[in-house]
Every structure is written in C-alpha cells, then in structure tokens.
Structure 1
Amino acid sequence: MLPVGSYPANPLGIFDLTSNAAEWVDDWYSETYYENSDPINPQGPGSGEKK
C-alpha cells in the first residue's frame, strides 16, 4: 500500500480513490451503525444486504 497522496488527483480533484477502492466497499451498510460504533476504523456490521 502506498502513502496517501502518492498520485495526482483525478479530473474531479479526488486523490487516491482507485488505489483503495476495496476499502470503500469492504463494510456492510447499516443506516444507524456508525452512530454507535467505534470512531477509529469502524468495520461495519458483520453482515447485511448492501455494501
């Protein structure tokens, strides 16, 4: 894994989105989970229907 900012921004001004895409979709979705979860690297619910 490379440090954040290793590549220039894409045309939308977004940095590093393609290199860490797996992290963005790893968690299951719950509308209320993050209200009560650990604020440091919450993993999301253990299962669900949406990612």
Structure 2
Amino acid sequence: MCIETAEAKLERVSGLYYSITFFVLFIYFCFCKWFVLFIVPCTLTHLCFID
C-alpha cells in the first residue's frame, strides 16, 4: 500500500513537472516569436535611423 501510494505520488509529481516544463517552453517560444517579429525589426529600424 505504501509503495503504491508513493508510485502514484511520483507519477503525479512528474506529470506536473512535465506540464510546467511544457508550459514554460510554450511561453518561451511564444515570447521568442514576438521578440523576433517586433523587437528585432524595431531595433534594426532604430539603428538605421541613428545611422
């Protein structure tokens, strides 16, 4: 009984860990996409205007 609950708990914890990791990666890649689409062109145009 004790071993079974420990295994179930471990499965729940690793499932939660994988969900959090996936969520963080999802946010990170979305942020990178917006970063590349907006911030990089803005930076390039500002650099061009400065030159």
TM category, shorter: under 0.3
Tell which has more relative contact order, 1 or 2 (C-alpha 8 A, sep 6+): 1
**Higher relative helix content:** 2
TM-score computed with the length of structure 1 as normaliser = 0.25
TM-score computed with the length of structure 2 as normaliser = 0.25
